[in-house]
């Protein structure tokens, strides 16, 4: 389990879950990829498909770290957001090619590792 990630994001579970569900509609049906574009205080979720359709969602977050552009399989992210009851989540990143660690303050033993994908 990764422990030394310097980029940390804090977000409310429900707004993030809803934004991912909307972006998933226009993600590629085979690969289900979404891009997270992280800057100070903002997370932009971008998805596109083979028909040149694109979705962009912006979510207000607390983010401390370098500007980062990282891709994930949206189904893996929704799995964790749909099955945990905690409200505030923390996600720690290294860079665009290293894993992300998702945890919840209210769920002490819960850790979820998600590997990035190239988009």
Domains of the chain and CATH, by start: 7-114 (3.10.150.10)
pLDDT tens per residue across span 66-108: 999 999 999 999 999 999 888 999 999 999 999 999 999 888 8
Neighbour-count burial of 55, counting CB atoms closer than 10 A to its CB (0-12 exposed, 13-18 middle, 19+ buried)? middle
pLDDT at 74: 98
Tokens of 21: 């569900």
pTM of the model: 0.93
Percent of the chain topping pLDDT 90: 84
d(CA 20, CA 39): 18
C-beta of residue 76 within 8 angstroms of C-beta of residue 99: no
The b/e string for 25-54 (b: 16+ C-beta within 10 A; e otherwise) is: ebbeeeebbbbbebeeeebbbbbbbeeeee
> Taking residues 39-58, what's their average pLDDT?
95
pLDDT at 3: 79
Tokens of 30: 């085979």
d(CA 104, CA 14): 13
pLDDT at 115: 96
Percent of the chain topping pLDDT 70: 100
């Amino acid at each position: 389990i990764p422990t030394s990630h310097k980029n940390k994001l804090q977000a409310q579970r429900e707004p993030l879950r809803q934004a991912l569900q909307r972006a998933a509609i226009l993600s590629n049906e085979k690969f289900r990829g979404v891009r997270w574009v992280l800057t100070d205080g903002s997370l932009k979720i971008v998805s596109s498909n083979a028909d040149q359709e694109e979705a962009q969602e912006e979510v207000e977050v607390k983010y401390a770290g370098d500007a980062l552009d990282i891709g994930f399989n949206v189904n893996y992210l929704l799995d964790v957001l749909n099955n945990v009851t905690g409200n505030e989540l923390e996600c720690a990143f290294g860079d665009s090619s290293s894993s992300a660690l998702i945890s919840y303050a209210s769920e002490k033993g819960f850790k979820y590792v998600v590997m990035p994908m190239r988009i």
